Chains A and B, each alone.
Chain A
């Protein structure tokens, strides 16, 4: 700490205050062309860089937890985060990146063993709307997207986003032609659907119908290879999670879902085939298979068994082999039931 204050006379609290003042200036005068404007923006960029260095340290020094705590406390005492998010489009690229990293770091900072960022976001939950709509603006998408992903580390914030209208938009955003933006959105989508188990389970059972209808038609049956590949992997992650067992049972009882999965099994892409198998096995392993599922499996029995005969991942995988053996046994032993 000594070293830090020797080189920088300003305390973290001073830095945050000065940043806030400049953000208020930036926010209030959208198109002012006065000469001081540029200077103020330059100072703002410099301050953001300094804040970042306090939080992350630099190549010479590790961050000091005391300084981080002071900074965090001052940051959330007033509306600095909102100002920063709102003013982000006015900053230059480097300042935007610094700001994004600051916001990301603040989500993890504890002050007296409390995540005060979470308290702030709960009181200002509309900020998530700004961040989530950021994906529609190509210039801001990666910055707002990264911030959003850090904010949904807090369960209450994730619940808000899951239950918001933004959730529906993700199905389109993750198919944008821009790979970097689409991939960033896909990472956020995955985080929302896997991070907080109980919230996800609740969301999926409440929103089962529209969610899986969209998931099947837009993602699993997308003409885009990347979309299908990411979607089938994520579906496996979701359904195989113990907390989602109710949803899994429901999913694995649907004939339409089975049809989609069997199409994915036939893909020429090995990666997609393997991921599809991990979902398909749920249909086969289900001990209360509905009659129509059984009849589809029986009708395709020989084809499926032939497919599985020389079906294996590039890497040795005992678990996979065991699963495959069981699926083969299940399918081979099926008796067609009369309706």
Chain B
């Protein structure tokens, strides 16, 4: 037993322990590691069996952990990087405020703790242990030093990651998902923010805050009639919850995550979340949802047909036609993947540490008045809300504001000035609007009072974000005009846009209304275009038919 402790700790401890000078701890570690090695040689098979089934390598006492840094925060949870002084391992500790959760949520917390402590797969984040500290629950987990893919993209790859890297990341994540599905668990919140990377390039699926076990529900059918997850990643049948939720919904989210990694954001994320739901329900979702960006100068030849085919399979509207995780794993896209070293070289190089990224995001949060924007950190937490309705509300704002950071980073980043890529401008503008909406939401604001001092709002910053807001509206208008010309457009909408465009300066509400109107127009135009296209198709068919005759 004793011998196995350092074995568990070695990987995570090696790089990060350097930050702290615990010479005696290091010394003990060296000794024990040595001991452990010889023991391993003696009883190799026993060791393996023990490591798999034995628990409690980590102490159940808060005094055995030294908090080093805060690396993430949600509405009722904080994630710390910490040193476990008895094993000298660096760990992540998710500290959940239990007093803010209802008894139903409490059951979820219990289930999550149990799920996490019984999982054992290299691509799934497990809990070392969990225990209560006053009113908080501490869940001790392996520390994934590179953080979530979402935060990695925000810091280094705002336009997405290259295909060879994506294939490795997705393959690893898919193996984790396969394991979860095999175990009867649904993840229910697959997205780049829940895929974590370690300094050695290894990938793990995380955050089972909303995961559910089909074995624990009373029905034998693999359906769960609850809406959970994050809108942009949610499958159509989850939104139409009458069908329930099954394994195949995770596959959909997996497909969206693939697109997210490729482009730096999920498709349709430039729309407020309810719109993205509606749009997704009414039409299929493909690469074409990024088309506007591509048409405006940013071609996307960088993705192989295998990648597009794989994503296409995941994003089939009919869940029955989507492949299972194990079947998807056999897809050609995942053949000949490179190893995790490749990720270390191509993704992790030059990446600021998780702690640093979190701190930066916090600073920007204060700056941009987005009080609840979160999580740069490695674990996103959205559970334990007091009120379901409110929760949904807060959730959607918070989730979207998750992108704020992304966006802000882009704006601040001198390498990507605003007007170079349409995608960036769009995202910058959109998110500012959402941010403002958040600011208006009193509930939310009071909810997060303790998080940051919102009071210290900088005038410059406000003006700055309003300017960005204006810019985004201009961009919206531009897009509409563009769409109109494409579809052989109608003048009047553009006129409306132009007139209202003049008065934008201060009132977000007005702006929101305008955008709403523009969006509707856009929708109309799109619909018109599709019907025209269908007519064209029909005519073409007709012509070929007559030709044949």
- Spell out A's residues near B (CB within 8 Å): 38, 56-57, 59-60, 62-63, 92-94, 96-97, 101, 104-105, 138-139, 142, 177-180, 183-184, 186-187, 224-226, 229, 233, 269-271, 314-315
Contacts and interface: CB of A to CB of B under 8 A. Distances in A.
A62 B221 contact: yes
A92 B53 CA distance: 6
Contacts of A183: 110, 113-114
A56 B184 contact: yes
A226 B132 contact: yes
Interface string B182-223: 011000000000000000000000000000001100001110
A180 B386 CA distance: 22
Nearest to B107: A187
Interface string B122-160: 000001011110110100000000000000000000000
Interface stretch (B55-63, B349-357, B457-465, B485-493): B55-63
12 contacts: A59-B181, A92-B49, A101-B184, A142-B114, A177-B131, A179-B137, A180-B129, A180-B130, A183-B114, A184-B110, A187-B107, A225-B135
Interface residues of B, number: 44
Contacts of B324: 59-60
**Which of A38, A92, A226, A269 has the most CB atoms of chain B within a 10 A radius of its CB?**
A226
A59 B215 contact: no
A142 B103 contact: no
A38 B45 CA distance: 10
Interface string B318-329: 000000111000
A178 B110 contact: no
Contacts of A63: 220
Nearest to B45: A38
Contacts of A186: 110
Nearest to B51: A93
B317 interface: no
A184 B107 CA distance: 10
Given A63-B220, A270-B99, A56 B215 contact: yes
Contacts of B134: 225
A59 B132 CA distance: 36
B98 to A, nearest CB: 7
A335 to B, nearest CB: 37
6 smallest CB-CB distances across A and B, nearest first, come from A183-B110, A179-B130, A177-B60, A59-B324, A180-B113, A59-B247
Given A38-B45, A138-B55, A225-B98, A314 B110 contact: no
B235 to A, nearest CB: 14
A56 B117 contact: no
Given A93-B120, A96-B53, A97-B183, A225 B114 contact: no
A57 B219 CA distance: 13
Given A56-B220, A183-B110, A184-B110, A139 B54 contact: yes
A198 B117 CA distance: 36
Contact of B110 (A60, A94, A96, A187): A187
A178 B130 contact: yes
Contacts of A226: 98, 132, 137
Given A59-B324, A142-B114, A177-B61, A314 B52 contact: no
Interface of B: 45, 49, 52-56, 60-61, 98-99, 102-103, 107, 110, 113-114, 117-118, 120, 127, 129-132, 134-135, 137, 181, 183-184, 214-215, 220-222, 246-248, 324-326, 386-387
Contacts of A60: 324
A315 B105 CA distance: 15
B215 A101 contact: yes
B126 to A, nearest CB: 11
Contacts of B137: 179, 226
Contacts of A315: 386-387
**Which of B131, B246, B325 has the most CB atoms of chain A within a 10 A radius of its CB?**
B131
B99 A269 contact: yes
A180 B117 contact: yes
Contact of A314 (B98, B117, B325, B386): B386
Nearest to B49: A92
Contacts of B386: 314-315
B120 A178 contact: no
Contacts of B49: 92
A269 B37 CA distance: 49
A37 B135 CA distance: 47
Nearest to B138: A179
A122 to B, nearest CB: 23
B440 to A, nearest CB: 21
Contacts of B247: 59
Nearest to A92: B52
B56 A138 contact: yes
A59 B181 CA distance: 8
B229 to A, nearest CB: 18
A33 B132 CA distance: 41
A110 to B, nearest CB: 12
B260 to A, nearest CB: 23
B361 to A, nearest CB: 29
Nearest to B50: A139
A184 B220 CA distance: 22
A263 B189 CA distance: 41
A139 B99 contact: no
Contacts of B114: 142, 180, 183-184
Contact of A104 (B120, B127, B215): B215
Contacts of B130: 178-180
Contacts of B131: 177-179
Given A139-B53, A177-B131, A180-B114, 20 more contacts: A56-B214, A59-B246, A59-B247, A59-B325, A60-B324, A63-B220, A93-B52, A94-B120, A105-B215, A178-B129, A178-B130, A178-B131, A180-B113, A184-B110, A184-B114, A187-B107, A224-B132, A225-B98, A229-B98, A271-B102
Nearest to B389: A315
B13 to A, nearest CB: 23
A142 B118 CA distance: 8
A226 B134 CA distance: 8
A183 B221 CA distance: 26
Contacts of A271: 99, 102-103
A184 B114 CA distance: 8
Nearest to A175: B132
A226 B248 CA distance: 36
Nearest to B325: A59
A142 B120 CA distance: 15
Nearest to B324: A59
Given A184-B110, A269-B135, A97 B181 contact: no
Contacts of A62: 220-222
Nearest to B116: A180
B271 to A, nearest CB: 31
Nearest to B247: A59
A293 to B, nearest CB: 28
Nearest to B246: A59
A57 B102 CA distance: 33
B117 A142 contact: yes
A179 B136 CA distance: 11
Contacts of A178: 56, 60, 129-131
Nearest to A141: B55
A73 B520 CA distance: 61
Contacts of A38: 45
B192 to A, nearest CB: 23
A305 B216 CA distance: 43
B141 to A, nearest CB: 13
A94 B103 CA distance: 30
A97 B52 CA distance: 12
Contacts of B52: 92-93
A311 B216 CA distance: 36
A139 B55 contact: yes
A177 B113 CA distance: 13
